[in-house]
């Protein structure tokens, strides 16, 4: 599967993506709001294999795609959508990016592409996401892609011995088409 934006190519993961993913998942700044304290090559290999296995499921309900910079042909992160309830046409999205590429609009571009896929190809009615409330960059991405904050979940995540609040966001198909 391939999605394309102005600057990005988003494609299914392959085994040779290991080194690029390991490089960014080993960065302490990347790990800041994550349960993991460190990543090994074996951890990342299992992570990528999980996405490769999901590609084979029928019907496919999980689409976690590698984010590739077109010009450099460089993997810089991933973005995906997971169908939670096919009958209710509900899914959630998530993303992560190599810290070297933060603040350049790539996450927003990828998240918009995955929303478009979710609404136009998967025919979802509601797509939601969440983030740690202190992760201001992620909050900005979700708001830029026109998701609405629906909830503030107090002390929802215990990450590295500290409780964090979460924000819950969502967008409906009619809000997407009204853009």
Give the span between the Cα atoms of 151 and 10, in whole angstroms: 30
Q: Above 90 in pLDDT, residue 46?
A: yes
The pLDDT confidence band at residue 108, using thresholds 50, 70 and 90, is very high
- Residue 14 lies in domain: 2-177
Q: How many domains does the chain have?
A: 1
Confidence of residue 103 (pLDDT cuts 50, 70, 90): very high
Tell me what the mean pLDDT of segment 27-51 comes to: 91
Give first-to-last CA distance, the chain, whole Å.
26
- Helix, strand or coil, per DSSP, at residue 105: coil
pTM value is: 0.94
When pLDDT is averaged across residues 147-172 and rounded to a whole number, the result is: 96
pLDDT digits over 56-95, tens only?
999 999 999 999 999 999 999 999 999 999 999 999 999 9
pLDDT tops 80 at residue 179:
no
- Tally of CB atoms within 10 A around 147: 24
Burial of 7 (0-12, 13-18, 19+ CB in 10 A): middle
Give the per-residue pLDDT at 37.
85
Q: What mean pLDDT, rounded, does the chain reach?
A: 95
Sign for the CA dihedral angle at 173, 138, 25, 2 comes to positive
In DSSP terms, 149 is beta-bridged to 169
Q: Are 153 and 165 in contact (CB under 8 A)?
A: yes
pLDDT of 53 strictly over 90: yes
Sign of the four-CA dihedral 37, 42, 45, 46? negative
Kindly report the CATH number assigned to the domain that includes residue 62: 3.40.630.30
Task: Quickly list DSSP for 140-175.
Answer: HHHHHTTPEEEEEEEEEEEETTEEEEEEEEEEEHHH
Q: Give pLDDT tens digits for 123-142.
A: 999 999 999 999 999 999 99
Mean pLDDT of 20-36: 91
Other CB atoms within a 10 A radius of the CB of residue 35 amount to 9
CA nearest neighbour of 91 among 108, 59, 115, 56 = 115
Percent of the chain with pLDDT over 70: 100
């Amino acid at each position: 599967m391939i999605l394309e934006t102005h600057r990005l190519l988003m494609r299914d993961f392959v085994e040779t993506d290991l080194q690029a993913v390991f490089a960014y998942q080993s960065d302490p700044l990347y790990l800041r709001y994550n349960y993991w304290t460190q990543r090994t090559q074996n951890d990342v290999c299992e992570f990528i294999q999980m996405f490769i296995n999901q590609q084979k499921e029928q019907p496919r309900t999980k689409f976690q795609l590698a984010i590739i910079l077109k010009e450099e042909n460089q993997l810089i992160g991933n973005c995906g959508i997971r169908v939670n309830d096919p009958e209710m046409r509900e899914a959630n999205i998530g993303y992560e990016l190599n810290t070297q590429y933060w603040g350049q609009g790539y996450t927003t571009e990828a998240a918009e592409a995955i929303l478009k896929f979710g609404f136009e190809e998967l025919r979802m009615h509601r797509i939601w996401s969440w983030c740690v409330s202190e992760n201001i960059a992620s909050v900005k991405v979700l708001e830029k892609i026109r998701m609405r904050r629906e909830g503030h979940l107090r002390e929802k995540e215990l990450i590295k011995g500290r409780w964090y609040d979460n924000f819950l966001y969502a967008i409906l198909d009619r809000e997407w088409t009204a853009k």
